[in-house]
Structure 1
Amino acid sequence: MARTGSGSGPLLLRRNVKLDSFLKRNTDRDLYERIRTCEPCVVVSESVSRVFMHVVLSDECLYLTEYAPRTLTAAVSFARVRDIKLVNDLPDFLSGKDRERCQHIRIVYAARRPARRRRHWFGRDGKPGPAPSALSSRRSSHCPTASDAAVACPAQRDPGEWRKERRLRSASCPNPETLGLVRVPHPPTQPHPATPTSPQEPSQERGLGSVLTRWMQADCGAAEAELHLYAVSQTSRLYLHLQSLWRSSLIRSTLLLEPLHRRGSASAAASAPARPRPASSWEGTTRLLAQLSAALLQDGLGAEGLYLLLRELRAAARHSVALRRLFWRSSEVCLFLVQTLEESLGGCQSPGGGYTPDQLLLSTAIVQTLAVMFRGTEVEAARVNQLSAKKGALASRMLLALICDPQPEAHAQGPLLCSQALLSKYLDAACSLLFELLLVGDESRCFSAGSLLSLGWMLQALQPHPHLLAFVGHQAQQVALALSDLQEPALSPLQAVLLFQRCRLLLACLQHSGRLAQHLRSHFREEFRYFVKPSCVEEKLPPCYPISRPTLQLVAHILTLMLQE
């Protein structure tokens, strides 16, 4: 979902007043504010056969509701998703252009049947209804099938083709007892992933493919289930939203395993300057952001005051997706932060010396704040409008500003020599922000910006920077070091997330930039060949980390590309 104007609730990209009204009445405010998007599509699973429904996505869960909404069902949480892929096929139950343009999305997830006492069903009035078994017999008379959707959704289909598809095999609405669906008003706020036992095998060299296979067999010990979604639209954004939300869920749930991360968020808010907090509403969040923005943009604000205000803004943004969306409605603060970062690190103008601790502390705070503002705002149209305005001027400036020399001590003089720990922290933060920007490149296909903001465009925009090769080389070195047997046996959750982000950056460089791919292969091929060992990779990424499986897949892909001649 995306917001427009200053309304108090999510609005559908193609506004469906009935669905929006239903969601507002039947979900609590917290869940309603976290709904990202809704899209109609045909749903298929082991017990649901070609039912036309609405898919409703929050930041933690995929919900299903009838095309004419009556009940909202939590189908699967992103914490249990194992894979999301586009299937290249032509569904036999569609015909004509619909069959050719259909996007078939397959979601594989760990199926675990919740305890019976935790199942709840909520109807139009938001009150618990009769038992699911009673509901399923009653629903069969009114639940829409794919053929019913032909009448209900004329905007998406040609009426003539819809009439032809009335022959589709119909089915009743999903039975929660057989689907393993949970009827809840909102998903759990903190997933608790199970901790599988890593298989014990003799220590020997193994291929990454075999490691990944064993992980898939051992992961959580739960059976796998599949949910198939068929979006009949060339402009459907459902797949990209699913990928983005799944990825964000993996990162968030992994970070929740890091005690220092939780304590750091709390201490940042506690140590921020005292400021009255408005009520947690859209209007209250608007007032809070306006106060912080005015304070940041005031004349005569020193570096220390700016640093403290950034900590407060970042702490508030981490806990409020509404504030992050509002951040992109005005370009003033974002432009100010980018300009301050340019001045702090010199941008593309090498200062001829190292960086001072004050420069690095302030630059790290700016980059961390910008990275937070990207999370959960994929459907905010104002974000892509800001970044793509004037042929991508803001995105280009942000990209160039965050790159810095990873070895300034080579030409530093006297007091300009900075603390290596502060520089390492900045380089970590810069990688995280670059990761968020590259995700915008992944998502750029959703919008009408053409090739603007694509991955290739972003990497091309970075080419003039004098420290680009050194910066990317530093990130590659850190990946090789983290996965070698020279470090501690296992990475912390925070280190695992950073490794995932670095791997995503390296993969983008190898796939979308000939210059960077050549540089990585010529300078780091041997390091990856001899130091990144499959057995060691498995030990570094505990299976209990939600981010471990996709990171292992990224490493396997990077090794394939890095070692090819």
Structure 2
Amino acid sequence: MGTPARSGFPARANGRLDAFLRRHLPPEVYDAVRAYEPCIVVSDSENHTFKYVVLSDRLIYLTENPPKSIRRAVALRDVVAIDLIDDYPEFLSSPDREINQHIRIIYSSTILKKECEKSKGVRKFLVPFHYAKAKKKVKEENNGSVFWGGKEPRSLNESSLRYHQESSTPSKDSTLCPSSDIKKLSLQGQGAFRALPSPSRRSCHSVPATGQAVSEPSCTANTKEPQGLPDHKDSPSEIPFKSNGNGNESYLGNSFLASSLQSNSNLEKKESELHLYVISTTSSIFLHLKSSWKNYIIKATLLQDPLYASEFNPATGSQKPYRSEEKIKHFSQLKSELILKDNTLRKILCLITELKVAAQKNFILKRLFWKTSDLFSFLVNKLREYLPESRDKNALGNQRQRADELVACIEILQTLGLMFRETETESSRLNTLAAKKGTLFNLLVILISEPQIPKSCPMFDIQLVADSTLGEMSFDAKLQKLILEYTDTATALLYEILLVFQQGNLGLGSSKFAISWMMSFLQSCPPIITFLASIVKQVVKGLSASFQLLSPCKAVLLYQQLYILKSCLQYSKTLAEYIRNDYREEFRYFIHMPALEKRLPLCYPITQPTTQLFHEVLKLVEQKQCVKC
């Protein structure tokens, strides 16, 4: 019943709802909407109401069907779990029960302590997913309404104040669907397709994963809750919005955040549930919810790195009104300049960096990237000019030229990783990858192949190279450091591509992608053995090098490395046997849970998912059978 979104721009299928969202949300918030789906909603404030769930990169909204008003239901930072429940709801008619998808979203909410004491059977939320700290609370009265105001933290968007205005109108009393009407409901789902992660070079020295540790993380296992994405400053999920008089709605306030919880003994956490019943077997909203939540966790972790976060902090006074038309024009200009034949390597590097920075701040550029396949093909072909070895014979003995080529390649890989991340809901991405499957497999070969450098370069101590900066190193050491950075960047991008095939297995474009295809291809490529060996060695080094906590970027990289290992153990008998046979001792003496707990702070949002993934990898290593071929 749920049909894939049409390949247009934007990639959404319900014209009436789309027009409503465009009218009631600020442009930057509207452009960040990932998917929507009609469903029956059950929660503390909803009793079997027929509504649309609207998913953005940070919030889950609810709006009537047809839409009249819109309100935020859950912030992704508050989500504890998203599960698909196998049941047969009695309020649905018999045919609808068979095709129903029951999605349960468990999230933390803040309440008065007395209220919490009255509720029975509520588990206290021990590791909350609030990523911001309240610096101050200010009561503001406006037209008789009271709002909480707080200090504005750094924003991901170039117009930070506007990005806090993820707007909606106060929800009116929802009309309950009579049970007789519910049995007759036939919900038409708006499908879509999903996407994935990447950061930046100046901040993390590679993709979201790379990044050298700028300093020892200030948070420890049981300290304050982490700072994170600044856009969701309201903990209660149903806080009203205030009209700004321009047809849009402005959220004025901060609310009950992590640090205020610790200082206010009258506030307490409890877990609440939002239930969505989607009458469709083909709807992909469950996968999009899980994907957006994971993307949010990764980005919130990376933002705890001061250098990474600084890239999203616009200079004072530089905020400009967000206009989609300007972003589209900017992308078209960059694209036309990039594909010019006479561009020098330095010119290409500057243009790619500009594209990456723009895409980091504006999701609309990611949509434009996948709208056609020419830029994707151009970047992969450019990589093939320099990797694994340079086509320019002069670079074989020229260390400076080879270093410049590697810097450009790392920037291209980061940009590609950024374009993959969070774009799974874009049908144009799947169409491009399906049409350019040969280009995609060429990219896979590049990612697992170690770049060649001039033979005169001696080998240096890897730890000394990793801890040094490029400015204070010889060219030989610089090349070695660039190789390490390239490997981390390639790992992050390979993780993104793995997600594409994994989602294909789960129903998103399954006729075009399957994880078994990718694993069959990878195990046929000789460089994969060396690549997996480097991943295992990096995991060992990360868990055993010292007692210093992992930096946010390194923590994300560890998650991506473990995900790749898990995929190989699950879906390739050949690669699984190689990992088990050749690295049995590493998993026995170095890669174990106590080592992980010492290096990974609980204040990182990525810690819980990494711990779970780590446990799954260890279990697969121990179980020598049960490999999915």
TM bucket normalised to smaller:
0.7 to 0.9
- Alpha-carbon distance, 1:298 to partner: 1.0
- Indicate the residue corresponding to 2:12 in structure 1: 12
User: 1:436 is matched with which residue: 476, 488, 496?
Assistant: 496
- Indicate the residue corresponding to 1:61 in structure 2: 59
- Alpha-carbon distance, 1:436 to partner: 0.9
Deviations 1:335-371 (CA, angstroms, capped at 9, x unpaired): 111011122113899x998993233212111100100
User: 1:245 is matched with which residue: 292, 312, 321?
Assistant: 292
C-alpha distance in 2, partners of 1:190/1:385? 41
User: 2:327 is matched with which residue: 282, 285, 300?
Assistant: 285
C-alpha distance in 1, partners of 2:111/2:356? 38
The equivalences for 1:410-489 within 5 A come to 413-414=455-456, 419-445=479-505, 449-484=509-544, 486-489=545-548
Q: Indicate yes or no: 2:228 matched with 1:183.
A: no
- Alpha-carbon distance, 1:244 to partner: 1.0
Whichever residue aligns with residue 47 of structure 2, its letter is S
Give the number of the structure with larger relative contact order, counting CA–CA contacts within 8 Å between residues 6 or more apart. 2
- Alpha-carbon distance, 1:442 to partner: 2.5
Whichever residue aligns with residue 361 of structure 1, its letter is V
C-alpha distance in 1, partners of 2:620/2:522? 22
The equivalences for 1:133-172 within 5 A come to 136=173, 139=174, 142-144=175-177, 147-148=180-181, 153=186
Could you tell me the TM-score, scaled by structure 1's length? Answer: 0.78
- Indicate the residue corresponding to 1:383 in structure 2: 429
In structure 2, the CA distance between the partners of 1:345 and 1:128, relative to structure 1 (3 Å rule), is closer
C-alpha distance in 1, partners of 2:255/2:597? 23
Q: Indicate yes or no: 2:358 matched with 1:313.
A: no
Bigger helix share: 1
- Indicate the residue corresponding to 1:169 in structure 2: none
C-alpha distance in 2, partners of 1:305/1:437? 28
C-alpha distance in 1, partners of 2:610/2:256? 19
- Alpha-carbon distance, 1:511 to partner: 0.9
C-alpha distance in 2, partners of 1:127/1:470? 52
C-alpha distance in 1, partners of 2:562/2:257? 23
C-alpha distance in 1, partners of 2:525/2:16? 51
C-alpha distance in 2, partners of 1:414/1:145? 78
Partner SS, residue 84 of structure 1: strand
C-alpha distance in 2, partners of 1:305/1:266? 26
- Indicate the residue corresponding to 2:33 in structure 1: 35
- Indicate the residue corresponding to 1:48 in structure 2: 46
C-alpha distance in 1, partners of 2:518/2:605? 29
C-alpha distance in 2, partners of 1:345/1:196? 51
Whichever residue aligns with residue 49 of structure 2, its letter is V
Deviations 1:100-140 (CA, angstroms, capped at 9, x unpaired): 221122212112249994489xxxxx8966xx8xx54xx5x
Segments of structure 1 that go 5 or more residues without pairing to the other structure are 121-125, 157-178, 198-219, 271-276
User: 2:276 is matched with which residue: 224, 229, 233?
Assistant: 229
Q: Indicate yes or no: 2:614 matched with 1:561.
A: no
In structure 2, the CA distance between the partners of 1:321 and 1:128, relative to structure 1 (3 Å rule), is closer
Q: Indicate yes or no: 2:559 matched with 1:500.
A: yes
Whichever residue aligns with residue 584 of structure 2, its letter is R
The equivalences for 1:179-218 within 5 A come to 181-184=238-241, 185=249, 194=258
In structure 2, the CA distance between the partners of 1:119 and 1:458, relative to structure 1 (3 Å rule), is farther
Deviations 1:407-459 (CA, angstroms, capped at 9, x unpaired): x68xx621596722111111111011111111111322576743432222222
Partner SS, residue 382 of structure 1: helix
In structure 2, the CA distance between the partners of 1:266 and 1:401, relative to structure 1 (3 Å rule), is farther
C-alpha distance in 2, partners of 1:127/1:453? 37
Partner SS, residue 414 of structure 1: coil
- Indicate the residue corresponding to 1:171 in structure 2: none
Segments of structure 2 that go 5 or more residues without pairing to the other structure are 113-138, 140-144, 150-166, 190-235, 242-248, 262-266, 459-475, 625-629
- Indicate the residue corresponding to 2:440 in structure 1: 395
- Alpha-carbon distance, 1:74 to partner: 0.9
Partner SS, residue 523 of structure 2: coil
CA RMSD, aligned part only? 3.7
Whichever residue aligns with residue 262 of structure 1, its letter is A
- Alpha-carbon distance, 1:242 to partner: 0.4
Whichever residue aligns with residue 106 of structure 1, its letter is R
Q: Indicate yes or no: 2:558 matched with 1:516.
A: no
Q: Indicate yes or no: 2:369 matched with 1:327.
A: yes
Partner SS, residue 283 of structure 1: helix
In structure 2, the CA distance between the partners of 1:384 and 1:190, relative to structure 1 (3 Å rule), is farther
C-alpha distance in 1, partners of 2:251/2:564? 31
Partner SS, residue 34 of structure 2: strand
C-alpha distance in 1, partners of 2:570/2:588? 19
Task: Give the stretch that moved more between structures: 514-523 or 38-47.
Answer: 38-47
Contact 1:342 1:401 in 2 (8 A): yes
C-alpha distance in 2, partners of 1:32/1:299? 36
C-alpha distance in 2, partners of 1:154/1:535? 48
C-alpha distance in 2, partners of 1:493/1:518? 32
Deviations 1:502-521 (CA, angstroms, capped at 9, x unpaired): 11111111111111111111
Partner SS, residue 222 of structure 1: strand
In structure 2, the CA distance between the partners of 1:438 and 1:246, relative to structure 1 (3 Å rule), is same
The percentage of counterpart residues that share the same residue type is: 36
User: How many residue pairs end up in the alignment?
Assistant: 492
Whichever residue aligns with residue 41 of structure 2, its letter is V
Partner SS, residue 462 of structure 1: helix
Deviations 1:45-89 (CA, angstroms, capped at 9, x unpaired): 345332222101000011112223222121111111121122222
Whichever residue aligns with residue 61 of structure 2, its letter is Y
Partner SS, residue 465 of structure 1: coil
